[in-house]
Each structure stands twice: as structure tokens, then as C-alpha cells.
Amino acid sequence: MSSMSALPGPAFLFRLAAAAAAESLPRFRQGGSVDNKLENAFDPVTEADRAAERAIRSLIEKEYPDHAILGEEYGLSGGGIHRWVIDPIDGTRAFISGVPVWGTLIGLVVDDVARIGIMHQPFTGERFWADGTSAFYDGPGGGRALKVRPTQRLDEATLFTTSPRLFSGEALARFEKLEASVRMTRFGTDCYAFAMLAAGHADLVVESGLKPYDIVALIPIVEQAGGVITTVSGGRAEEGGEIVAAATAELHAAALQILAD
């Protein structure tokens, strides 16, 4: 499976997303159990998270037994050039506080590059996905191709980030400089922000401390909708870290000039 034509099709992504939703949605707003993953930080992991990841893994293992899988809850299994990267519930804080801006993220990396991916929000019924060439949406309002908007200037840009608290020290100072340069900033969006960028409703997303499973599924969605997504130093985003996604190359360069100087 080294050629584009051999990539799994959207139907398989939809099956994976549906299997995850069957575990996550019934537990949304039900007050399920919340563990503390880290001793000194509140990092909620619900049963929904774990059950959804098991459901996704099970389908992948059956269909593509030679592919590796990296998941937030159960780590890495397998090896080779194909690696599925999954976050069963991106935005667990949104999930446990009832706000439907979390999503299930499933992406496939081939030869170190994210090729296809899906973001599914089962409460609203929204799916954003990339098939290796183009990116699409379906859900309320009807289906359509995803296309970034042509914003080139920071002072015309809408910036999304999950929380200004993700930055500290020098990175915070740079983020605040960026915030002061854009037209509008919105907080609290997690994966939803990248979907809105791909859909042409926002222009810039900056996140810090991302893991591969927070970003891999979103890379092809942003890129195949016409956007640019890299680390803050301009490299490929597959390994996570501090990530900058932009609607256009011009806007991306302007953001990097502030964030990486």
C-alpha cells in the first residue's frame, strides 16, 4: 500500500468513527467515571475514551492486521510504514463538561506523512474527513467539500486556541503578541478549531503541547482543504508539539514570524 490508490476509503473511516460513537455518545452527559491520569494534573479519562479506542482498534486489527496503531489510551502496537493514530475523544474536558466540541480523531500515517483522517462529532452528527486528495464535511446543513478561506493578513484573521494557559514564559509572550495582532481570538475549541479552519470559518489555530494523536487526523483535513499546518519551527506536524495551522501560506508565515522569532 505505497500508492495513493491503495489508501483505505472514507467508508472505512466512517465505520471506525461509528464504532467509536457507539461507545462514546451513550456516555456523553451521563456523569460517567473520571480518573486522574497524572498524579499532579487533572487529566480526565472516561470509560468512553477507553471503550471507543478499543472499538476502533478492533476494526483496524481485523481489516489491516499488518498496520501499526498508536492510540491515546493504549499506546503503540505493531510497526511498519502504516500507522493509524487515534484519539477516541479529543477534548475530554469538553466531553466531561457536556459541551459538544470534542471529537473522535482517526488518522493514517504512511511513510511518516498523515494521508487520510477523520474528525467525528457524534452528538451534532458532523464528520470532517480527508481521503488522500480532498477534504469533505457532512452533517447538519448538508455535505460539501472543505475549502479554507483566502485570509492572508493577521489583522483580518480569526485565531483559535484551546486555552492561553497552554503557554508559559517566552511562548506565552509570543502568543500574546500574536493575539494582539489578529482580529479575533476564541478559546476552548480543541480539534473543532482545525475543522473550522478547514471549513473556512476560521483562519489560524495555535496549540501547544500536542501529542501525535491530537493532531495526525487533522493534518490531512487541513492540508487537503488547502491550508498549511506545521510545527512552530516549520516542520511536519505529525509528531505534535507546538502547532500552527493557517488558511494560507502568507498567513502561516506571518504567524510563524511572531511565534518562532
Q: Interface residues with a second copy (CB under 8 A)?
A: 28-29, 31, 42, 44, 93-94, 96-101, 123-124, 140-141, 149, 158, 160, 162-165, 183-189, 192, 196, 199-202
**The C-alpha cell of 192 is what?**
473543532
How far apart are CB 242 and a second copy at their closest, in Å? 19
How far apart are CB 63 and a second copy at their closest, in Å? 30
Of 208 and 231, which has the nearer Cβ to a second copy?
A: 208
How far apart are CB 149 and a second copy at their closest, in Å? 8
Other CB atoms within a 10 A radius of the CB of residue 85 amount to 27
Of 54 and 186, which has the nearer Cβ to a second copy?
A: 186
- Three state DSSP letters for the chain: CCCHHHCCCHHHHHHHHHHHHHHHHHHCCCCCCEEECCCCCCCEEEHHHHHHHHHHHHHHHHHCCCCEEEECCCEEECCCCEEEEEEEEECHHHHHCCCCCCEEEEEEEECCEEEEEEEEECCCCEEEEECCCCEEEECCCCCEECCCCCCCCHHHCEEEECCHHHCCHHHHHHHHHHHHHCCEEEECCCHHHHHHHHCCCCCEEEEEEECHHHHCCHHHHHHHCCCEEEECCCCCCCCCEEEEEECCHHHHHHHHHHHCC
Of 189 and 224, which has the nearer Cβ to a second copy?
A: 189
How far apart are CB 102 and a second copy at their closest, in Å? 11
Of 60 and 182, which has the nearer Cβ to a second copy?
A: 182
How far apart are CB 28 and a second copy at their closest, in Å? 8
Of 31 and 75, which has the nearer Cβ to a second copy?
A: 31
How far apart are CB 31 and a second copy at their closest, in Å? 7
Of 33 and 97, which has the nearer Cβ to a second copy?
A: 97
